[in-house]
Amino acid sequence: MTQDAAYERSMRRALDLAGNGPATGVNPRVGCVILGADGETLAEGWHRGAGTSHAEVDALAKLPAGAARGATAVVTLEPCNHTGRTGPCSVALLDAGIGRVVYAVADPGEHSSGGAERLRAAGVAVQGGVLAEEATVFLADWLFAAGLGRPFVTVKWASSLDGRAAAADGTSQWITGPEARQDVHRRRAQADAILVGTGTVLADDPALTARDADGALLAGQPVPVILGTRPIPAGSAVLAHPQVPLFFDGGDIGSVLRALHERGIRRAFVEGGPTLASAFVAAGLVDEYLIYLAPTLIGGGRLALGDIGVSSVAEQRRLAIDHIDRLGEDILVVARPRERNDHVHRNH
């Protein structure tokens, strides 16, 4: 087996190890394999969540003192170069005497990047880009959030085929069928936070939990985030959520997203209602659209989306369809913006 093939094999193992870590939270899922001079595996490690040892340190801790000298560390993400709850992984690798570091993707973080440069400056051989495409897909949301300093934002709505999110009397439960609603709960469980406006809380009193088909709570529960200035009743269902709700006035959603990012939230799920969804679209702060279409017609003025700042066809927000799924009698359209508006994110 060639050296490159050995590195790819070990990187795939490192990606498998990374999958043991928590899918949500402030830190990325990272795996590490330490190889000896003959390519044999000396130790393996992965990151188990904020405040625990990073993957490289976890692997090194399984070796006797001096056993890593001259060895190769294969790690899914460039070793970090900053001190947070734990020290820099680049320093830990240097202290252990590692001779070569092979990583998949560079760390885009403003404060955490630079580990590869530090290692090279100390005489360690460094090789990046091994299985970069696979690792980028695996770390997609975290890489996105680290690069922009805000969470990846998904906006979801359910509507009739004529684009209505509710009937004239305001009722909306249920436009879509059980399969579509269960898909929403599954996606909620994969998010770090679920965002709604106070209008939705007052009108629908949602629990904002992620539940299975029998109503039991799923393992993953997003933090409820309520945007708006109107007070909500003391008995609101969201106040009994397993996670403590966060409240923002919602005046500057760019600032809200930055605040959520600082709290470790990397994936935000915007679920209601039309006013809030429209604000995110108008600000250019939507990275993914989940549009559930039911085979029904409602009519009236209760649209799923309101004013998004488009006054002519020339200003329309073009989307790229990622995929379309059939969920029972309903259709799910997953789409993303054709053009990124990341300058909006940095300037607000």
Question: Across residues 74-79, what is the average pLDDT?
Answer: 96
For strands 72-77 and 100-105, give the pairing. parallel
Measured CA to CA, the distance from residue 298 to residue 175 in angstroms comes to 9
* Residue 53 belongs to some domain of the structure: yes
pLDDT over 80 (residue 63): yes
One domain, residues 93 and 176: no
pLDDT at 346: 36
Distance CA 222, CA 202 (A): 20
Instruction: Determine if residue 117 is labeled as part of a ligand binding site.
Output: no
Q: Which of 317, 325, 316, 322 is nearest to 335 (CA)?
A: 322
Residue 288 and residue 153 share a domain: yes
Whether residue 284 is preceded by a cis peptide bond, meaning omega within 30 degrees of 0, is no
Domain boundary (139, 166, 185) is at: 139
User: Whole-structure pTM over 0.75, yes or no?
Assistant: no
263 assigned to some structural domain:
yes
202-218 confidence digits (pLDDT tens): 988 999 999 999 899 99
Closest of 227, 266, 270, 255 to residue 347, by C-alpha: 255
Helix (H, G, I), strand (E, B) or coil at 272: strand
Question: How do residues 302-323 score in pLDDT, each as one tens digit?
Answer: 888 888 888 889 888 889 998 9
CA distance 93 to 88: 9
Q: Give the total residue count for the chain.
A: 348
Catalytic residues: 56
Number of domains in the chain: 2
What is the pLDDT at residue 232? 93
Distance spanning both ends of the chain, measured CA to CA = 52
Q: Is there a binding annotation on residue 54?
A: yes
CATH code of the domain covering residue 131: 3.40.140.10
DSSP label of 79: P
pLDDT at 344: 38
Each residue of 271-298: pLDDT tens digit?
878 889 999 999 999 999 999 999 999 8
Do 208 and 79 share a domain, yes or no?
no
113 is in an annotated binding site: no
Residue 32, marked binder: no
Find out whether 187 and 158 touch, Cβ atoms under 8 Å. Answer: no
| 218 and 299 part of one domain | yes
Name the residue range of residue 52's domain.
Answer: 3-139
The pLDDT of residue 347 is above 50 = no
